[in-house]
Amino acid sequence: MDRKQFYREVTGFLTKVSAENGTPGSGTEALATDIGEDSNLFDLGLINSFTVIRMIVFIEDLTGAQIDLAEHDLETFYTLRGLYTVANGADQ
């Protein structure tokens, strides 16, 4: 899966989860387009300690890759770029 498609899928997931959690401005296409590849998803309120696990499971299902949480620093999961790197197993 290329980077653009991955970002589109993950931002769609984040939009859905944000709407479920009642994040202000969530559930809109504008939210998804406002997320840059280096935006801190925690700081934006899009994910928290509970939803990050749900997001990781989503990415595993999306890519078919098993993500070993012990191999990565928590900060890796803060951004779309970091998530893409984890899902693809290499710095990109």
Mean pLDDT per 10-residue interval, the chain, length 92 residues: 94 86 55 80 86 93 91 92 88 40
Give me the pLDDT at residue 30, please.
45
Residue 46: give its domain's CATH number: 1.10.1200.10
Give me the pLDDT at residue 29, please.
47
Give me the pLDDT at residue 31, please.
59
Domain count across the chain = 1
Is residue 92 within 8 A of residue 2, CB to CB? The reply is no
Torsion of CA 72, 74, 77, 78, to 10 degrees: -150
Give me the pLDDT at residue 65, please.
86
Residues 6+ apart with CB under 8 A from 32: 8, 11, 12, 14, 15
**Residue 84, number of CB atoms within 10 A of its CB:** 20
Amino acid identity for residue 3 in this structure: R
CA atoms within 13 A on the CB side of 55: 32
Q: Which domain holds residue 17?
A: 3-88
Give me the pLDDT at residue 91, please.
41
Q: What is the pTM of this model?
A: 0.81
